[in-house]
Amino acid sequence: MLAAMVGGHALALSELRPSDEPSQPEQGQSRAILQAFEGTTLPQPGPAINRSAQAGDAKTTAPPADPNAAKPAPADSKPAEIIRDMTKLPAPVKHMREQLVEAAASGDITRLRALMGTGATQTQVMNGEFEDPIETLKSFSGDADGQEILAILLDILSTGAAHFDVGTPDEAYVWPYFAGKQLSTLTPPERVDLLRIVTAGDLAGMEENGNYNFFRAGISPDGKWKFFSGGD
């Protein structure tokens, strides 16, 4: 399971629930910087955020699923298009991704608020049942300021995207691209990509379920940030 170390005790991601007393930030290791797109730098994904001390941990329990989030395509449907070259994204999608990267890299989670929209088009955070999306993200983070969640967002945006539901109202570009692939079809390099975001124990649990079930972010073709969620 993805775990955060607090006071020498490993806490599973599933234990990072909303609470009135978030845990204190863990001092993370510095990570290399990569150029994700021209003119913008962001931390390279991996090692996995708050990697578990036990690589063989049991089945992952992901954050609550967002019912509006894109799901892996059924075996008998057309597979999602996988886009690894971010220059191939539509301009509005590319721009929103860049804004999300810049906001997350700032370390100030409140900078995400301006990117979430309002009303019916507001970004769906987790399962959409919480009143304030920023406070919701903080409550699922292993630290009081939500910086672990920002790091996770950076990590998943550093991968390719899966293009779901083309030509429908639900069309979205979803990060990471593992959300659009059956895990049994991953190549060795793709498995390495995934293990830069989650632990080997997480991956084993996902393989039991057959699909990626960690955090994902979706952007609509017109550049709106549709959702940030976890779960199957």
Q: What is the pLDDT of residues 107-141, one digit of tens each?
A: 999 999 999 988 888 999 987 666 789 999 998 89
Q: Which residues contact 187 (CB under 8 A, 6 or more apart)?
A: none
CB neighbours (10 Å) of residue 107?
12
Domains of the chain, residue spans: 81-232
pTM of the model: 0.68
Beta bridge partners of 162: 82, 174
Amino acid in the structure at residue 51: R
Q: What is the pLDDT of residues 66-95, one digit of tens each?
A: 444 454 444 445 678 999 999 999 999 999
